[in-house]
Structure 1
Amino acid sequence: MNYQDILGSCSETTVGQLVSRCPQTLAVFRKHVPEIEAHRLTTVDIVASIANVEPKRLCQELFDTVMEQTPIEELDTDLLLELILRGYDAGHLGKLPEIHRLARKIEAVHRANPEVPKGITLAVKKLEHTLTDHIKRENAYVLKRMKHDQPPRPETPIAQMNEEHSVIKRQLKKLRQMTCNYHAPESACRSWRRFYRELKALDFRLSEQIYLERDVLFPRFQF
């Protein structure tokens, strides 16, 4: 999980917004800027500039503090839904076309190289189709019905979503096998290595999201 998933964009989230959500973050801000109370409307990245620290370092400290106070399993349902929709789904849908283009390029340019996984483009395209369709159905028929902890409808297809999660996990497993756990060979060019890095990151994020939905969010609504 990235800190942006919980904190939001550090160029938009203000000190006051974050402290109101998690009062313990005030101590982190004070450590870097003792007079932080005068900067409640200041965004996190500007505070990092004032304190002369790397924005990523400050955001990570704030993220760690938030998660210590509220483990992911105890996050408010609406916050979990926002995290899934904006943090995960939007990221997947934005990255998949790029990953597919990289796969097609690698398989075309290096088709004579025996270390190129044969059929990798088709495997990525299948994952893209499966995930895109899954996200559309899940958002329309499941997640929207969970806002504000609404009582679940008997027809809410939670079991179907979990079956689709299993399909996605099998597709990810196949990609790991085809790419030797995303380990690029010595002969790999920069695009090839980038392709494996992006694919590995997608695998991690997808697995993380499936855990959040299957083991944290959905049990709150199952009969």
Structure 2
Amino acid sequence: MADQLLDNTLGNLASSLPGATRVFHRFHLDFCCGGQKTLRQAARERNVDAKEVVRHLRDLDPQDTDAIDWRQAPPGRLIDHVLSRYHAVHRQQLPELIRLAARVEQVHGGREECPRGLTELLIAMHQELESHMQKEEQVLFPMIERGAGPMAGGPISLMRFEHDQHGEALARLIELTDDMRPPQGACNTWRALYRGLDELRVDLMQHIHLENNLLFPRALGQEVFHG
């Protein structure tokens, strides 16, 4: 059982085990952009104890109703979910996070722990993510819903590349904010900012996971899940 988990990919595990993404977040394992790596490889690269990850995965409740199994959902339903749960939410999240970050940098810029440059990073993320989502909404998703198959390969390759860029931006975000941990004595605005950034991280990783590991392979007629 342990070897079966260790030699499976993060993307497959995230898709098939309810609650697995929570475990991966806990151990900072990238199941979205890095979803093709095996658990064994990803744990080694992150210098975490793979057996400990396996233990947490085994402790998950297989009847966890918080997670929906999207593997068998029609592409149109999965697209609708991505649009309502992630595209719409990101458009609400980022403007408010930019406002909070600008406030923290303005008021606390003199503190050593201040995430200087965070506002600029979030503005860039907002612009890049909005452009990305519009390409999906106007070009790629309609192609997938028409059953374009291999013809969608070019746009999908571009979206995967941009997903990698989003992942790099998240890594910079984590570095700037000490993994979204507010310093001692942080004000309410600072704490609210970091809570919101952590929500953005979780949502964006799940968003990318659903597309990279489920929607895109299915659109291309590729195997989505290996049992």
Give the TM-score taking structure 2 as reference length. 0.65
Deviation at 1:77, TM superposition (A): 1.2
Distance, in Å, in 2 between the alignment partners of 1:135 and 1:109 is 33
- Give the aligned residue type for 1:141: V
- Give the aligned residue type for 1:140: Q
Distance, in Å, in 2 between the alignment partners of 1:215 and 1:66 is 16
Deviation at 1:159, TM superposition (A): 0.1
Deviation at 1:72, TM superposition (A): 2.1
1:23-53 Cα offsets, whole Å, 9 max, x none, are: xxxxxxxxxxxxxxxxxxxxxxxxxxxxxxx
CA contact (8 A) 1:103 1:121 kept: yes
CA contact (8 A) 2:78 2:215 kept: yes
1:158-180 Cα offsets, whole Å, 9 max, x none, are: 10000000000000011001111
Partner in structure 2 of residue 183 of structure 1: 181
Partner in structure 2 of residue 77 of structure 1: 75
CA contact (8 A) 1:146 1:152 kept: no
CA contact (8 A) 2:149 2:220 kept: no
Partner in structure 2 of residue 131 of structure 1: 129
Residue number among 197, 200, 212 corresponding to 1:199 in the alignment: 197
Distance, in Å, in 1 between the alignment partners of 2:82 and 2:66 is 21
Name the % identity.
Answer: 30
- Give the aligned residue type for 2:200: L
Residue number among 97, 100, 114 corresponding to 2:98 in the alignment: 100
Partner in structure 2 of residue 118 of structure 1: 116
- Give the aligned residue type for 2:214: V
- Give the aligned residue type for 1:126: A
Structure number with greater CO (CA < 8 Å, separation at least 6) is 2
Partner in structure 1 of residue 166 of structure 2: 168
Distance, in Å, in 2 between the alignment partners of 1:97 and 1:188 is 21
Deviation at 1:153, TM superposition (A): 2.8
1:141 aligns with 2:142: no
Distance, in Å, in 2 between the alignment partners of 1:177 and 1:110 is 18
CA contact (8 A) 2:143 2:152 kept: no
Deviation at 1:139, TM superposition (A): 1.3
Partner in structure 1 of residue 215 of structure 2: 217
Supply the RMSD in Å over aligned alpha carbons.
2.0
Relative to structure 1, the CA distance from residue 188 to residue 65 in structure 2 (aligned partners, 3 Å threshold; closer, same or farther) is closer
Distance, in Å, in 1 between the alignment partners of 2:72 and 2:127 is 32
Gaps of 5+ in 2: 1-62, 222-227
Relative to structure 1, the CA distance from residue 89 to residue 167 in structure 2 (aligned partners, 3 Å threshold; closer, same or farther) is same
Give the TM-score taking structure 1 as reference length. 0.67
Distance, in Å, in 2 between the alignment partners of 1:182 and 1:66 is 24
Larger radius of gyration: 1
